[in-house]
Structure 1
Amino acid sequence: MNAAVQKSIDFTEGALRKKLLLFVLPILAGTVLQQLYVTADAVIIGKYTGKIGLAAIDSVYALIRLPVLFFAGISAGASIIVSYSYGAKDFKKLGTAVHTAVLFALTGGIALSAAGIVGSPYILNLIAVPAEIYDYALSYVQIYFAGFVFMMLYNICAGILRALGDSKTPLYILIISCFTNIALDILFIGYFKWSTAGAAIATSIAQCISAVFAFAALIQSKTEGRLYPKKLRFHSQTLKRILITGVPIGIQSAFYPIANILIQSGINASGTDNIAAWALCGKLDFLIWFSVGAVADGVSVCAAQNYGAGKIDRVKKGTLFGIFAGTLTVLIISALLYLYSDTFAKLFISANDYDVIAITVRIMHFIAPFYVFYVFGDLFSASIRGSGKTFTAMLVSLLTICGSRVLWMLYIAATGADFMRIIVCYPLSWFLHSLAFTVYYLIYTRKNFKLSA
């Protein structure tokens, strides 16, 4: 067996635990790398453009983030369909899924790029971007949307590669892309002084490189999921399955930030120190979300492949091992955050900001013991999504996460806002989310392991 085949992992055979770990680690490394890039990008933009550049990009962050999250959900749906066909060894359906998904990324990406470029001025006026940063924000968002097709193509191709058991190739592509982006940021922003437009051009070029490499990797794949450009065409039933599977994931992903915006508005009213402390906590606990997210990706692919193969026992074994690994990881990180939150906080803020550090420690001492609740809900949800029940996963998530947070903020508004009372909604929503998915998984999965179509 050659190297190209060996780096693809088949979850339907062999040592499941080892394969899950080998699959998850490159995904985790990739997400950490992306976070480091985001940090470096912010430093470069802040250094060379100052507060105007930072404010301009931040003002359109939500505008960019929502379609990114939604179409990442579509990519996840395509990945599930590909994983299912790969596990079932139904190579005809596998081929149609791969080619339909890639063509959808190309056509959908071009359409969204055009809509984003044309619609950006109207949306920026709608969200009241200040006049002093308007031109900077507009140039950034229009150039960013021009490259959106490359982001969609990369996400779809990388998702297909992972669905075929190859999580290493997307990591290698990310490494190239991130370092290219940073180098171009320095060139375009620092040397050419292109400000926010330079940042967007650098991002679009890096995304183009990612898309080309991922597309080429599928063409050169030695698996049955190999891409043949001449065979790119839509298959209506396959596209329908991808959308039915992916749209609920996209809606779920897009609604999370909307609920969090409501919470952030309450935090914003509690004072600068509290805002800064909460922002610091977001920088400290990112490893928890990345770790659980990486394990969830592994559990989802494992579930989809084995459900396709009809090996339900391996679906359950993969899910339970994922929960064990995720729980152990989160407990370790939570303990470190609880014990050393003051030390970690000083990495991001001056040691002289005593009040902010004290609030950060207080938040971490309150919230760290509850991070583990997040694991069960997210990983049971990933297994259910991998088995095709994405609408159910979306419904439960929206009710328990978004619904509980909105209701909590309405309660806070009626009874009086207090900073620590506001953030109670996070562990509360994690607990409800995990409880609901655990009950659903334990009671109903034996009868409902059936792919939605």
Structure 2
Amino acid sequence: MIVGQLMGKNAVAAIGSTTSLVSFILGFAQGATAGMGLLVATSFGSRNPQQVNRRFGVSAVLISIIAITLTFLGVLLADEILKLLGTPTNIIVPAQTYIRIIFAGIPISLTFNFLSNMLRSIGNSRTPLIFLGISSLINIIFNFVFILFFHWGIAGSALATVFAQFVSAALCVYHIYRHVPLLYWHKPLHLTFKEIKIQLSAGIPMGLQFSIIAIGSILVQRSLNQLGTEVIAAFSVASKIDQISMLPMSALGTALGTYVAQNAGGQKYQRVLLGIKQTFKLSILISVIITLLILLSNGRLTYLFISNPGEKLLNLIRLYFILVTPWYILLSGLFILRFTLQGLNYNLLPMVAGLIELLMRTLAAVILVGILGYIGICLSAPLAWLGGISTLIYRFWKAIRQVEQMAQLKKRGEKEIS
């Protein structure tokens, strides 16, 4: 938003051209931390503080290794991948600058995501939200400072993002040190292969799920790059608005996954069922409201990102939302299905759903773009959501039936005891 206002649509296009690649690398890391957080949530729900602390320590070691590896690979390969994606020559240099800095900050970003997921796993969702709000405010302020006063351009925007993440990570560390002894880090002595396997079996599938979906976005980005800077800028702005619009639905899904893991760990099956039902209703309502708001105001929203977009850019963005936002109701259901299954420890199937999403995005990038051009790009996301939800819905229904049966068995057992 700030880059578009201060530096124009070419700068927006440069940052937009890196989005899929950043999502591929950071998505894996963030997914892995979320998966490991669900394990901690299960231990917390079963009232096993020793296991909570142990799993936190093992996760911290594994996430540190992942962070170092991804930083090295990201910085090393980013330039070549941008070239392979066919990034236009007039924006490739600022795109390379931006992505190098973002990838150099992966350990900082991963620290915040890891600690915030761990806080959520023990029932504290409020504190990470506050720290994220502070981080967003700092990001806005330092974007202005670095771009307007220091004239650092694209590099200034990237540095502002990394600095904001550093502040949020430091706040998480301080909060845990002062208030959450359950998450004090102790070097896990005698680290066993079984422990590593358990943590990775939860973290890696969820990380791969995020990355697999991002691979589809990379293929779409390559097709997009062939349509010119104007289209890249339009799709970048629309995607940013899209991402903001998805946040409430994504947050509800993430919260539901933690809630399900905690209550399933504590054998509170009726609470699991009630939470899923209520979240479904709320998420669908939110998706409908967001759809209507965007369809009515996407033109005005565009001016928040680019001060002088032009009629062609406005029309491209308007077309994107006409084609995409009516499918938000499907996306809201996909988040519920995916995170419920992960909360119930079905880790493999959501990754399979990610592969189906990749297939659908690939078909859009390879086939639809050749036939429909920009419209094919727009349809790639709804097709991916449709593929994902079609893969998960049967397993979700069976999982709910199993939870209902366990709830009935527990209720019957309590009656017999009484």
Query: TM-score scaled to structure 1, two decimals?
Result: 0.75
1:57-93: CA deviation from partner (whole Å, max 9, x where unpaired): 5554444332111100111111111101000112221
Identify the match of residue 392 of structure 2 among 429, 437, 444. 437
Aligned residue number for residue 238 of structure 1: 195
Residues 298-377 of structure 1: pairs in structure 2 closer than 5 A: 298-341=255-298, 344=301, 353-354=310-311, 356-358=313-315, 360-377=317-334
8 A Cα contact 2:206 2:351, kept in partner: yes
Q: Equivalent residue of 2:179, what SS?
A: coil
Structure 2 distance, partners of 1:438, 1:429, is 14
Aligned residue number for residue 408 of structure 2: none
Aligned residue number for residue 90 of structure 1: 48
Structure 2 distance, partners of 1:310, 1:253, is 29
Paired amino acid for 2:52: L
Structure 1 unpaired stretches of 5+? 1-38
Do the aligned partners of residues 334 and 154 (structure 1) sit closer, same or farther apart at CA in structure 2, a change above 3 Å counting?
Answer: same
Do the aligned partners of residues 256 and 192 (structure 1) sit closer, same or farther apart at CA in structure 2, a change above 3 Å counting?
Answer: same
Instruction: Say yes or no: does 1:296 pair with 2:253.
Output: yes
Once the two structures are TM-superposed, the CA of residue 128 in structure 1 deviates from its matched residue by 7.0
Paired amino acid for 1:99: G
Q: Equivalent residue of 1:305, what SS?
A: helix
8 A Cα contact 1:376 1:437, kept in partner: no
8 A Cα contact 1:306 1:314, kept in partner: yes
Structure 1 distance, partners of 2:206, 2:23, is 15
Paired amino acid for 2:150: F
Once the two structures are TM-superposed, the CA of residue 394 in structure 1 deviates from its matched residue by 1.2
Once the two structures are TM-superposed, the CA of residue 302 in structure 1 deviates from its matched residue by 0.6
Once the two structures are TM-superposed, the CA of residue 388 in structure 1 deviates from its matched residue by 1.4
Identify the match of residue 345 of structure 2 among 385, 388, 402. 388
Do the aligned partners of residues 83 and 354 (structure 1) sit closer, same or farther apart at CA in structure 2, a change above 3 Å counting?
Answer: same
8 A Cα contact 2:17 2:221, kept in partner: no
8 A Cα contact 1:220 1:226, kept in partner: no
Q: Equivalent residue of 1:388, what SS?
A: coil
Instruction: Say yes or no: does 1:150 pair with 2:105.
Output: no
Query: TM-score scaled to structure 2, two decimals?
Result: 0.81
Once the two structures are TM-superposed, the CA of residue 179 in structure 1 deviates from its matched residue by 3.1
Structure 2 distance, partners of 1:228, 1:285, is 37
Q: Please give the root-mean-square deviation of Cα atoms over the aligned residues, in Å.
A: 3.6
Do the aligned partners of residues 214 and 237 (structure 1) sit closer, same or farther apart at CA in structure 2, a change above 3 Å counting?
Answer: farther
Paired amino acid for 1:253: F
Once the two structures are TM-superposed, the CA of residue 165 in structure 1 deviates from its matched residue by 1.1
Structure 2 distance, partners of 1:216, 1:346, is 38
Structure 2 distance, partners of 1:97, 1:169, is 21
Once the two structures are TM-superposed, the CA of residue 307 in structure 1 deviates from its matched residue by 1.4
Residues 180-191 of structure 1: pairs in structure 2 closer than 5 A: 180-191=138-149
Aligned residue number for residue 68 of structure 1: 26
1:341-381: CA deviation from partner (whole Å, max 9, x where unpaired): 55555666689955554555455445443321222222111
Instruction: Say yes or no: does 1:417 pair with 2:369.
Output: no
Once the two structures are TM-superposed, the CA of residue 107 in structure 1 deviates from its matched residue by 3.8
Once the two structures are TM-superposed, the CA of residue 312 in structure 1 deviates from its matched residue by 2.4
Aligned residue number for residue 184 of structure 2: 227
Aligned residue number for residue 16 of structure 1: none
Identify the match of residue 260 of structure 1 among 203, 217, 221. 217
Aligned residue number for residue 250 of structure 1: 207
Once the two structures are TM-superposed, the CA of residue 183 in structure 1 deviates from its matched residue by 3.6
Do the aligned partners of residues 57 and 269 (structure 1) sit closer, same or farther apart at CA in structure 2, a change above 3 Å counting?
Answer: closer
Once the two structures are TM-superposed, the CA of residue 434 in structure 1 deviates from its matched residue by 2.7
% identical aligned pairs: 25
Q: Equivalent residue of 1:220, what SS?
A: helix
1:383-407: CA deviation from partner (whole Å, max 9, x where unpaired): 00111112111102322x2223323
Q: Equivalent residue of 1:165, what SS?
A: coil
The number of equivalent residue pairs is 404
Deviates more, 1:247-256 or 1:279-288: 279-288
Structure 2 unpaired stretches of 5+? 405-418
Instruction: Say yes or no: does 1:110 pair with 2:65.
Output: no
Aligned residue number for residue 8 of structure 1: none
